[in-house]
Amino acid sequence: MSKVLARWNRLPAEEAELEVLACCGSSAWARQLAAARPFAGIDSLLNHSDQLWSRLSPKDWDEAFSRHPRIGERKPPAAASAQSASWSAQEQKPVADATDSLRDELARANRQYEQRFGRVFIVCATGKSAQEMLDILRHRLHNDDATELLAAAEEQRKITSLRLQKWLSQ
């Protein structure tokens, strides 16, 4: 068992919630995950996280989405924790290294997405180039509202899983 997980299993509920909130951004998810402790290992934690995420409401999903910076934007939203902002910067490094014109295209597409869907565009950026993220964004602009909500939720689930693994490996 991870030392981080063993320590987290013993924390008071409120501390445990706060510690994992940076991994997802949904208060309901963090509260329910902390309440489900103790976890025997990383796999059981990750599986339970996925199950919790799939049962949350769109309002809870939107809370998590709102804690992400726009793809290509260096400044995190005010609601993002320092740890979440740091992870976002690492995950979006390919965008920071992209050309000015590509970053401008991403900014325009982000604005279109937000006008269309009323929320920030969510994509699991890990391992993707700036061009890939722009292509995904443009493709998802064609989704209907329900399809896009599920696509964004799935991307957030992937982000949460990766961040939980990063947190547990500290």
Out of 12, 34, 57, pick the residue that ends a domain: 57
The answer on 51 and 71 residing in a single domain is no
Instruction: With 0.85 as the threshold, say if the pTM is over it.
Output: yes
Class of residue 108 by CB neighbours under 10 A (exposed 0-12, middle 13-18, buried 19+): exposed
120 and 151 inside one domain: yes
pLDDT attached to residue 144: 98
Are 8 and 75 in the same domain?
no
87 and 164 both lie in a single domain: yes
- The residue range of the domain holding 130 is 63-168
Rama region for 127: left / alpha / beta (φ>0; ψ in -120 to 50; rest): left
Active-site residue numbers?
68
Tell me: do 90 and 148 sit in the same domain.
Answer: yes
Q: Are residues 71 and 49 in the same domain?
A: no
CATH number, domain with residue 105? 1.10.3330.10
What is the maximal distance between C-alpha atoms in the chain?
49
Q: Are residues 29 and 94 in the same domain?
A: no
Same domain membership, residue 81 and residue 149: yes
Same-domain check for residues 116 and 142: yes
Per-residue pLDDT tens digits for 48-89: 999 999 999 999 999 999 988 777 776 665 666 676 656 666
pLDDT of 134-153, one tens digit each? 999 999 999 999 999 999 99
- Reported for 54-57, long-range contacts at CB under 8 A and 24+ positions apart, including other chains, are 54/157, 56/26, 56/28, 56/29, 57/28
Total domain count for the chain?
2
Write down which residue in 15, 34, 57 finishes a domain: 57
**Tens of pLDDT, residues 7-19:** 999 999 999 999 9
Same domain, 42 and 101: no
Q: Does one domain contain both 8 and 69?
A: no
Cα–Cα distance for residue pair 62/68, rounded to 1 Å: 10
Which stretches of the chain are DSSP H helices? 3-10, 13-24, 27-35, 42-55, 58-65, 82-91, 93-96, 100-117, 130-140, 145-168
Question: Alpha-carbon distance 85 to 168, whole Å?
Answer: 17
Query: Both 43 and 75 in a single domain?
Result: no
Distance of alpha carbon 92 from alpha carbon 90, whole angstroms:
6
Q: What is the mean pLDDT of the chain?
A: 91
